[in-house]
Amino acid sequence: ETGVTQTPRHLVMGMTNKKSLKCEQHLGHNAMYWYKQSAKKPLELMFVYSLEERVENNSVPSRFSPECPNSSHLFLHLHTLQPEDSALYLCASSPHTGSEQYFGPGTRLTVT
Amino acid sequence: KNEVEQSPQNLTAQEGEFITINCSYSVGISALHWLQQHPGGGIVSLFMLSSGKKKHGRLIATINIQEKHSSLHITASHPRDSAVYICAVRGETSGSRLTFGEGTQLTVNP
């Protein structure tokens, strides 16, 4: 247990569906991150939030929409995804940007 | 070419063997991380280092800033060490961004 939880752990959705991924951290950290891990590829940073403000958006398509309502919660809203978006989506948090990150267990997403 | 290169990509060892995984990077960095990912996806941070050497239990991480190279060593390996080991670097000018290697799949047989 790293103190970072993600729900759901597995998600299958159609290309026309709208769904959301949730991340929660119980560590009192100020920074939260979304990563994408596709098969046979390195982890890719998607978004970074610091004190609930988005500080980094790594050229992610608009069909992925992050939301950080407070420093403990981070959401990734998904709509009209493509099959190539199927991947493991990992959330992480850290005391501040630049410090050691603690990862959640990930959500395995399959787009059909 | 990835900014972070790991070798080997796959490694199979017998229980008890000494294991080394290497990471080379091409940019100036402020920190280097070693991460462990078990089947199912969860990632655990093993080390964050910017110079010298760190040790935790049977794990040792070293870094040579001049040579832009880091190694992760596992002494007295055990089947439970089987996982993917990932090297990631934070560039000097990249803010919060980590750049990840492709990972090394380690399998330790009993």
Backbone angles phi, psi at A87, to 5 degrees: -175, 180
Q: Do A50 and B96 touch (CB under 8 A)?
A: yes
**Rounded to an integer, what distance in angstroms lies between the CA atom of residue B22 and that of residue B7?**
5
Instruction: Quickly state the pLDDT bin for A1 (edges 50, 70, 90).
Output: low
Mean pLDDT of chain A: 92
**pLDDT (0 to 100) of residue B39:** 84
3-class secondary structure for B10-57?
A: EEEEECCCCEEEEEEECCCEEEEEEEEECCCCCEEEEEEECCEEEEEC
A55 vs B96: CB contact, 8 Å cut-off?
A: yes
Cα B11 from Cα B82, distance rounded (Å) = 10
Q: What's the pLDDT score for residue B1?
A: 60
Enumerate the residues of chain A whose CB falls inside 8 A of the CB of residue B5.
none
pLDDT in tens, A29-56: 999 999 999 988 899 999 999 888 888 7
Under 8 Å CB pairs connecting chains A and B tally to 64
Residues of chain B falling short of pLDDT 70 = 1
